[in-house]
Amino acid sequence: MARDLEKDLAICEEATPGKWEALLDSVAMVDPGEISSVVWICQMYDEKAGNFHNYENNARFVAASREGWPYAIRRAMQAEEKVDRLENELRMLQDELNRRCGA
């Protein structure tokens, strides 16, 4: 399934700004790090349900995705633009070659 990279990037950019960090002491949370106190973003497990499965890795993923996803999406969008530009240049060169060779 194809993704709408512009829409995905907009979602990333609408999230709380700042460098997020996974806090893994009593609960797993994410801190945007832009102010002096912790801003709770999300909890990675349900303490009452005892569901602690993989919460540390999940918290690290959420924190890393705040900067990683926008970066990766921008790189993918730039790569798509470059591929389009190079394909157009290749078509122009092929057309010119065909014209010169009489094909």
Which of the 8 DSSP states describes residue 19?
Answer: -
Global model pTM greater than 0.85: no
Q: In Å, how far are 3, 5, 12, 86 from 75, measured between CA atoms?
A: 14, 10, 14, 16
Would you say the C-alpha torsion 25, 48, 66, 77 has a positive or negative sign? positive
Distance CA 37, CA 50 (A): 27
Q: Render pLDDT for 9-55 as a digit per residue (tens, 0 to 9).
A: 999 998 887 777 777 654 445 555 555 566 667 777 666 766 667 77
Q: Is 8 helix (H, G, I), strand (E, B) or coil?
A: helix
Distance CA 50, CA 61 (A): 21
pLDDT band at 60 (very low <50, low <70, confident <90, very high): confident
Sequence ranges of the domains in the chain: 5-101
